[in-house]
Structure 1
Amino acid sequence: MNLFQLFLMLHIAGGTAGLITGTINLVRKKGDKNHKLVGKIFTYGMLIAGVSSLVLSVLHPSYFLFIVGVFTIYLVGTGNRYIYLKMLGVNQQPLLLDWAITIGMLITAVLFIVTGVIHLVNQNNFGIVLLIFGVLALRFTKTDIENYRGKARVKNYWLLVHLQRLTGAYIAAITAFLVVNAKYAPVELPPVLVWLLPTAILLPLIITWSKRYKIEVKTADR
């Protein structure tokens, strides 16, 4: 077994664990003991999948592996960190690690957008995927910077970001699964559709949950 095969096995194992546990937590009751236990398995599985994806993207250069790796690590990392960042702007400051993850994602977002534009200029429709993911990443990092500076727009920002980011990581797992297995579909689907379908389906769910649980910051609290 060579190095690529080893990390590929780790990627498949982590991704499979994330896909199964993510589905469980998506449909069941939130916040109880079992939710937290399943969530830990999801986190470790997705981090293994994300890190191994980045390694694979170096061993075998691939947009697919790089995008999945970057977004998975960022979404799972920040989604879990926010559980411990409930007092930003009061008596708590983000760690250097928090800033490093966010700045890393910000740089990557700019690269996605620039590369996406170049692809579209060269009449490569995959540029649409890069542009959409780049814009989403910019919105994520903008939220991070506002929260880290104590300028959160909602009182329970930590809960909303936790929900949004881990659901986003689940979307990444589904996207990876579909991209890899699209060739087995009974009809051939456009690659851009395969990449964006999970986001298009689950993004409205994230928006609905966010509106349901959001607690606005009162003007006097700002």
Structure 2
Amino acid sequence: MEKIFTVTLVLHIIGGTLSLITGLVAMLAAKGKSRHRAGGKAFFVAMTLVFVTALAMSLMKGLTFLLMVAFFSYHLLLRGYRALYLKELYKGQRMALPDYLINGVGVIFNTGLLAWGASHLVTHSTYIHTVAVFFGLLGIWMAGSDIKHFIIPPKDKQQWLYTHIGGMCGAYVAAVTAFMVVNVHFLPGLMVWMAPVIIGGTLITLTINRYKRKFNKQAAATETTVPVAVR
């Protein structure tokens, strides 16, 4: 069993390393171009390897926190990737089987993460349990927001893009966080966990807002354009 665990751990490290590289390639490449798409697909595969190996290791060693954080991170990735197929949300696009699975499993495991962290906060609290509560609440909020878009269609037809950015970049932040947790030992534990989330979350929000301003400006320019009469 120990040999299997070691092999799984090595594969997990390989997947994590590849996710950091491919995710960066996708983010730096021109959006919508072949390099961005190739980098994004490679990032998805690498993060899937990270998820599968984390799932296996958590089951082999009974690591509850690793199990739930793995689902939290993979939920981010799946919602970001799935958003590419939800470009008609503003028209009332209906939920399909992948949406039920992604959001359903997301709610279940993030609720479990929240409950696990909260229960330990009452008894023998550590910073890990604070992190669990924060991640659990964040995951539930994201799943709830995605479900809401099927019930009340968003007015912004670019909502799919904002979800794509939030999900994929959020998964990259998760990969960076994991790297820091393993390798950074000179900072307080809570800071190591939360710093990438706060910084990454801020950058994601700024990026989404930049796109919103861009699209709003384009829409305003289109509305104010006076058509030329043809004689």
Which TM bucket (shorter chain)? 0.7 to 0.9
- Match of 2:184, SS state, is helix
- Look up the SS of the partner of 1:2 in the other structure: helix
- 1:128 is matched with 130
The TM-score, its normalising length taken from structure 2, stands at 0.84
Once the 2 structures are TM-superposed, how far is the Cα of residue 89 of structure 1 from its aligned partner? 5.7
Find the counterpart in structure 1 of residue 177 from structure 2. Answer: 175
TM-score (norm 1): 0.87
Asked if the contact 2:86–2:160 (Cα under 8 Å) also holds between the matched residues in 1, the reply is yes
What's the CA shift for 1:79? 0.9
CA distance in 2, matches of 1:57, 1:84: 31
Amino acid at match of 2:207: W
Q: Deviations over 1:181-206 (max 9, x none)?
A: 124xxx3x221111111101111111
How do 1:111-150 residues align onto structure 2 when only pairs under 5 Å count? 111-122=112-123, 123-150=125-152
Q: Residues 5-154 of structure 1 correspond to what in structure 2 (within 5 A)?
A: 5-88=6-89, 90=91, 92-122=93-123, 123-152=125-154, 154=156
Q: Distance in 2 between matches of 1:106 and 1:179?
A: 25
The letter for the 2-side match of 1:154 is: D
**How far, CA to CA, are the matches of 2:29 and 2:65 in structure 1?**
30
Q: Which residue of 2 aligns with 1:219?
A: none
Letter in 1 for 2:154: A
Asked if residue 194 in structure 1 is aligned to residue 192 in structure 2, the reply is yes
Deviations 1:24-75 (Å, cap 9, x if unpaired)? 2333432211111111111110111112111111111224532442123211
Question: What does the per-residue CA deviation read over 1:142-172, in whole Å, with 9 as the maximum and x for residues that have no partner?
Answer: 1110123352253211100000000000011
Distance 1:100 1:27 in 2: 31
> CA deviation digits over 1:1-25, x for unaligned, max 9?
8321222122111111110111223
CA distance in 1, matches of 2:29, 2:106: 30
Tell me, what secondary structure is at the counterpart of 2:71? Answer: helix
Name stretches of at least 5 consecutive residues in structure 1 with no aligned partner.
217-222
**Superimposed CA distance per residue, residues 73-132 of structure 1 (whole angstroms, 9 cap, x where no aligned partner):** 211112111101111363642221221111111112222222222222123232210111
Alignment-mate amino acid for residue 195 of structure 2: L
CA gap of 1:153–1:199, structure 2 versus 1, over 3 A, is farther
Q: Is the 8 A contact 1:47 1:72 kept in 2?
A: no
Aligned to 1:9, the other structure's residue is in SS state: helix
Greater Rg by CA: 2
Letter in 1 for 2:8: F
How many residues are paired up?
A: 213
Q: Which residue of 2 aligns with 1:203?
A: 201
